């Protein structure tokens, strides 16, 4: 009989949120499977080269030739046809600021800054969802995963992310995500990222920023994620891979099984101001595909510093879609992971051929 490992609670160093590691729940019978891929999807895909007229007009492209909205591009960005944020042109003056939130640059519509709590009397405050929402198509080829790109293609895609993030430097917060697979929220299978230029700072990002700032003050200038990374290299229990520029780890309080994080070795607040990380991201994707196969569905996001924030350290997180969040997670905000990050890291190292 195998040893029963008792559940334990771990605290995410970057957000303070708790995760329950419950390895015993891995023995449950589970019938969850990835969403099947659609036959013939490439035949009508609007993101493939040669179908540029099926998308909104491009706002940017990395081109080897051709004019805008024609073939000859490597990476291409267009407005999202169904935007989650962005007030239509001509309606900007009709959007009222949220009640109790001071206008101007000082407030930044920020949930954890004191200025955003002044005079907050309206329990039903609302405002227009300003900002921008773009799609960044990773490649002209019809591939369904970043993991299918070769090194040069992936480097070009990541450079495109940075280019578009810099284009929205006036936003309060820029969030870039990748959804791969129907179960992970992708509506089109052709590999692409989505960029949200927000006029507010989401609570989870604000929590992370506040913990970076508090750690720097408490340690007389210490850098939270840099210190975590150094310790992860020393301990090696959760280290998956490392190169000259960045490392791949399974975070201490992973919010789900086989979550991985890409961390640059040099502390830089903003992903868009750096140049490294594409190679380590490729390593992380190879490890996950080696462990779970090409059909793996996942969510990926880039965490970069909000505007006017310097105590920060960018990173990329990848969360494989191996289960669904259920009632406990949704009702408490506490995630349950059935695989420890130490076990996950060992298996991912094995998938890379580096032993456990």
Instruction: Give the tokens for residue 282.
Output: 């490729």
Render the burial of 154-193: b for 16+ CB within 10 Å, e for the rest.
bbbbbebbbbbbebbeebbbbbbebbbbbbbebeebbbbb
Instruction: State yes or no: pLDDT of 103 exceeds 60.
Output: no
Q: DSSP state, 88?
A: P
pLDDT in tens, 117-162: 566 667 898 888 999 999 999 999 999 999 999 999 999 999 999 9
Residue 288, Cβ density class (10 Å: 0-12 exposed, 13-18 middle, ≥19 buried) = buried
Q: Which of 40-44, 112-116, 196-200 has the highest mean pLDDT?
A: 196-200
Instruction: Give the tokens for residue 271.
Output: 């992903």
Return the pLDDT at 100: 41
Return the pLDDT at 4: 66
Across 89-111, average pLDDT: 50
Across 246-257, average pLDDT: 98
Instruction: State yes or no: pLDDT of 104 exceeds 90.
Output: no
Instruction: State yes or no: pLDDT of 108 exceeds 50.
Output: no
Q: Rounded to an integer, what is the distance from CA 248 to the centroid of its chain?
A: 14
Instruction: State yes or no: pLDDT of 196 exceeds 50.
Output: yes
End-to-end CA distance of the chain: 23
Return the pLDDT at 70: 98
Across 37-64, average pLDDT: 92
- DSSP for 44-59? G-TTSTT-GGGSPPPS
pLDDT-derived band at 109, boundaries 50, 70, 90 = low
Return the pLDDT at 30: 46
pLDDT-derived band at 97, boundaries 50, 70, 90 = very low
- DSSP for 168-228? TTTSSEEEEEEEESGGGT-SS-S-EEEEEEESS--HHHHHHHHHHHHHHHHTTS--HHHHH
Q: How far is CA 188 from CA 41, 58, 220, 284, 350, in A?
A: 9, 18, 47, 23, 32
Return the pLDDT at 106: 42
Q: Which residue has the tokens 């935007």?
A: 83
pLDDT-derived band at 36, boundaries 50, 70, 90 = low
- 337, containing H or E segment: strand 335-337
pLDDT-derived band at 35, boundaries 50, 70, 90 = low
Side-chain-facing half-sphere of 260: CA atoms under 13 Å: 32
Return the pLDDT at 40: 73
Instruction: State yes or no: pLDDT of 356 exceeds 60.
Output: no
How much of the chain exceeds pLDDT 90, in percent? Answer: 79
Question: Phi and psi (nearest 5°) for 269?
Answer: -65, -40
Return the pLDDT at 5: 74
Return the pLDDT at 126: 84
Could you give the domains of the chain? 47-87+99-118+126-171+187-198 (3.30.428.10)
Return the pLDDT at 99: 41
Judge whether 161 and 302 are in contact, CB under 8 Å.
yes
Q: What is the CA radius of gyration of the chain?
A: 21
Q: How far is CA 57 from CA 60, 67, 260, in A?
A: 9, 12, 35
pLDDT-derived band at 34, boundaries 50, 70, 90 = low
Return the pLDDT at 127: 85
pLDDT in tens, 261-287: 999 999 999 999 999 999 999 999 999
Mean pLDDT of the chain: 90
224-235 vs 203-218: helix crossing angle, rounded to 10: 80
């Amino acid at each position: 009989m195998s040893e029963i490992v008792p559940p334990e609670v771990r605290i995410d160093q970057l957000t303070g949120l708790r995760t329950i590691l419950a390895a015993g729940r891995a023995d449950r019978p589970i019938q969850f499977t990835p969403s099947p891929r659609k036959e013939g999807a490439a035949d009508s895909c609007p993101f493939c080269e040669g179908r540029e007229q099926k998308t909104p007009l491009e706002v940017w492209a990395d081109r080897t030739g051709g004019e805008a909205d024609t073939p000859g591009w490597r990476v291409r960005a267009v407005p999202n046809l169904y935007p989650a944020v962005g007030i239509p042109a001509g309606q900007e003056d009709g959007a009222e600021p949220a009640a109790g939130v001071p206008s101007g640059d000082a407030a930044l519509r920020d949930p954890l800054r004191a200025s955003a709590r002044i005079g907050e009397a309206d329990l039903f405050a609302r405002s227009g969802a300003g900002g921008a929402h773009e799609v960044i198509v990773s490649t002209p080829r019809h591939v369904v995963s970043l993991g299918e790109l070769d090194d040069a293609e992936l480097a070009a895609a990541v450079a495109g992310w940075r280019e578009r993030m810099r284009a929205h430097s006036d936003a309060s917060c820029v969030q870039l995500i990748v959804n791969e697979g129907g179960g992970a929220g992708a509506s089109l299978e052709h590999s692409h990222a989505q960029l949200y230029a927000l006029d507010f700072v989401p609570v989870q990002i604000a929590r992370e920023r506040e913990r970076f700032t508090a750690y720097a003050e408490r340690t007389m200038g210490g850098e939270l994620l840099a210190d975590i990374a150094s310790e992860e290299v020393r301990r090696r229990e959760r280290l998956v891979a490392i190169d000259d520029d960045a490392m791949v780890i399974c975070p201490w309080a992973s919010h789900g099984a086989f979550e991985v994080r890409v961390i640059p070795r040099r502390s830089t607040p903003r992903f868009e101001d750096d140049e490294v990380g594409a190679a380590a991201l490729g390593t992380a994707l190879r490890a996950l595909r080696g462990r779970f196969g090409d059909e793996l569905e996942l969510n990926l996001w880039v965490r970069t510093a909000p505007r006017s924030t310097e105590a920060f350290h960018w990173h990329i997180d990848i969360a494989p879609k191996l289960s669904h969040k259920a009632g406990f997670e949704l009702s408490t905000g506490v995630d349950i992971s059935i695989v420890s990050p130490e076990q996950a890291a060992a298996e991912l190292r094995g998938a890379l051929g580096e032993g456990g």
